[in-house]
Amino acid sequence: QVEVVDSGGGLVQPGGSLRLSCTASGSVFAVREVAWYRQAPGKEQELVAEITNDGSINYLDSVKGRFTISRDYATNTVFLQMNNLKPEDTADYYCSQEIKQDRQDQFAYQWGQGTQVTVSS
């Protein structure tokens, strides 16, 4: 059994910063790709940032230069540092980790429950 928990959201003023965290715990043998997605009310879910299997890092164009994704392999934690936040960044943010639960298992995407980010004055 694997549990992925997102945290770090909140209310922040425009120009402020937040750091989101996402930790996978339980039966985690290996983690491959990790990513952060977001979904604003009435809008489609969009990929915000990812670290792919070959180590490449990709960002949504609108967050480039403001957001940074990173990971701690020892704790199976993924971070999203968000700086210079704008009202249009308001959304529910979800972490995804591609996890293998044991040596014989296949990799499968596991999702966090989401954390809400509101950018408003």
pLDDT in tens, 1-35: 999 999 999 999 999 999 999 999 999 999 999 99
pLDDT of residue 58: 98
* Predicted pLDDT at 102: 92
CA distance to 10, 27, 31, 66, per residue, from 98 (Å): 26, 13, 6, 25
Instruction: Report the C-alpha gap between 5 and 75 in whole angstroms.
Output: 12
pLDDT digits (tens, 9 = 90+) for 31-61: 999 999 999 999 999 999 999 999 999 999 9
Q: Say what the pLDDT of residue 99 is.
A: 97
- Going along 45-103, which residue ranges are E strands? 46-51, 57-59, 67-72, 77-82, 91-100
| pLDDT at res. 118 | 98
The distance between the two most distant Cα atoms of the chain, rounded to a whole number of Å, is 50
Which one-letter amino acid corresponds to residue 111? W
